[in-house]
Amino acid sequence: MCGIAGWVAYDSDLTAQRDITDAMTGTMACRGPDDSGTWIRPHVALGHRRLAIIDLPGGRQPMEFETPQGPIAVVYSGETYNYRELRAWLTGKGHKFRTDSDTEVVLHAYLEWGEAFAERLNGMYALAIWDQRHEKLVMVRDRLGIKPFYVYPTPDGVLFGSEPKAILANPGVRRVVDIDGLRELVSFVQTPKWALWKGMSEIEPGTVVTVSRIGIRTRTYWKLEPQPHEDDLDSTILKVRHLMTDTVHRQLVADVPRCVLLSGGLDSSAVTGLAAKHLAGQGEQIRTFSVDFVGREETFKADEARDTPDTPFIRDVVDMVHPLHKFVTLDASVLTDPDLRREVVTARDMPIGFGEMDTSLYLLFQAIREESTVALSGESADEVFGGYRWMHDPEVIRTDNFPWMVYQSAMSGDRAAIMCPHLRGKLDIPGYVADQYATAVSAVEHRDGDSEYERRMRVNQNLHLTRFVRMMLDRKDRISMAVGLEVRVPFCDHRLVEYLYNTPWSMKSFDGREKSLLRHATSHVVPESVQQRLKASYPSTQDPSYNAELQQQAKEVLAERSHPAMALVDWDWLTEAIERDPAGLPSNVRRGIDRVLDLYHWFDIYRPEIELP
């Protein structure tokens, strides 16, 4: 796992721009604390920050291969989990390797198959290859969008980076956010390619983007497609068990300490059980980590996202698989630290995140990084197996809108409520969301003969796998890499995603519950109590003192009415939110205050220009 940055300029000599290349690369230092490198030629500059995971001495980047027609160089962030199979195949074709790194395998795969090498990779990656033979840059992003990748076209080429901050470090880029950027920021629909900053975009998952003297070309090498499901229920469960076992085993490969994030839910417990069983066969004991809050188990109150506290279920998993387990217990007072909030806003490059669920995740990852460099996560199982509560709510299913916005939770409601009335009118969030929903639904392909219900549920899952999961994956990547921790997501293995996407919905909930297939496929490694547990969201503090401190900080922000962030904020809404009883503060109001504070710090950090019509 690393950070990459780069620049192509066909009308300039970039050998004179090393300082700018170094500055762009330097913004990725948190993603790659172990090493730094640049590779510069007249029309291209590549930068890399390395977090060493595989072949610690041999995997330095940028990595170069000389051909008679000119060099080929790569910068690469992520992991290729099938690199050993690819290496063996390429060796049989006559390729010679100097290192044991997956980066060199990726480079030789390009030499062998050209741009079609992307279809051969199994992993999470964002990579850029400069091919001097054709003076072209080839950029590839993994199928699900696990690794972030941003691009900014220029008059004579392109800028790119793992994060927007790398591109923003180039003096040729203005830090402008226009009305479309603000709409997306508060709408929670994750429009493909969106990147907040005007002129910048994400490279879409599953695509190859080629930059040459004649322009920029994009090719889709993977997307969700409807296919027949031929297996019966028993065979489907066995297939899921095989795929889950294989992907967890692949993702345990590392030359550094690794662990599993354990929440006590079905998803992370399944990964923990499979990992523990595999490593036990090698004489190893898996490490696991969980986050908790002071006094939470004793004072827990059920809410719309959680029926039970996590801790009892975590203990059940620990008692069953015997990992080396550690609780990271946080006090609410730590979560309100303004400096911590600034760290998280900087990590995400944007405001309006998830409040203390972001700051606690940052502190959890920070504590893990002291003992491990790689962590496996249960992230994305709900999108793949159909685990969210709203996926099983008949009213939500019937509604023509993004499901996560219909279901009553801290994520639903009027996310634009914090914006001043004049700006809310310009944003027209209801109209924007309706347009985005219609666009997203029209892109979903169906099989002939599918029932109306199956078609609706395919749309439901497609929206989660092409929109919602990308928000969750970006959050996970940005916050983990801000402390130099690589988090892997076995549930995003594209083979598993393809298989489950085409499994009938009736099989996904065949026992009348959510995630039926995952529950039965991993029952041999998960305690009965966890198998029967209802879906619970990432934990959130319920300490009223957290709300009170948020309100106090918001009061201080409201007093700075000349601050540029306050030009966007509804003062009346914020005043009312500050005056509410902290003990009974609704979750959506708390999230709104969090967004105001994020916005305040984001303006101080990035100094954006807001461009309104």
CA distance 148 to 161: 8
How far is residue 192's CA from residue 124's CA, in Å, rounded to a whole number? 18
**Catalytic choice (2, 30, 259, 492):** 2
435-to-189, 406, 416, 423, 429 alpha-carbon distances in Å: 11, 16, 17, 19, 10
Of 505, 477, 512, residue with least CA distance to 492 = 477
CA distance 491 to 271: 9
Q: Which two tokens stand for residue 561?
A: 């009415």
By the 10 Å C-beta count (0-12 exposed, 13-18 middle, 19+ buried), 205 is classed as: buried
Q: In whole angstroms, what is the distance from residue 75 CA to residue 82 CA?
A: 18
Q: 3-state class of 600 per DSSP?
A: helix
Q: What is the DSSP string of 101-151?
A: -HHHHHHHHHHHHGGGGGGG--EEEEEEEEETTTTEEEEEE-SS--S--EE
Nearest Cα residue to 294 out of 547, 586, 545:
545
Calpha distance 32→22 (Å, rounded): 14
Closest listed residue to residue 365, CA positions, set 259, 490, 498, 210: 259
Residue partners of 339: CB distance under 8 A and separation at least 6 = none
CB 486 within 8 A of CB 373: yes
Instruction: Identify whether the C-beta of residue 503 lies closer than 8 Å to the C-beta of residue 94.
Output: no
The region, left, alpha or beta by phi > 0 then psi within -120 to 50, assigned to residue 116 is alpha
Query: What is the C-alpha to C-alpha distance for residues 446 and 438, in angstroms, rounded to an integer?
Result: 16
Torsional sign, CA 14, 15, 21, 23: negative
CA 292 to chain centre: 22
For tokens 């033979």, the residue is 133
2 noted as active-site residue: yes
Give CA–CA dist 444/248, Å, rounded. 29
| Chain center to CA of 280 | 30
Structure tokens at 462: 């497609």
**DSSP H helical ranges for 409-511:** 421-427, 429-442, 452-463, 469-481, 494-501, 505-508
- Kindly report the backbone phi and psi dihedral angles of residue 77, in degrees, each rounded to the nearest multiple of 5, phi listed first: -120, 130
Query: 3-class DSSP state for residue 210?
Result: strand
Catalytic residues: 2
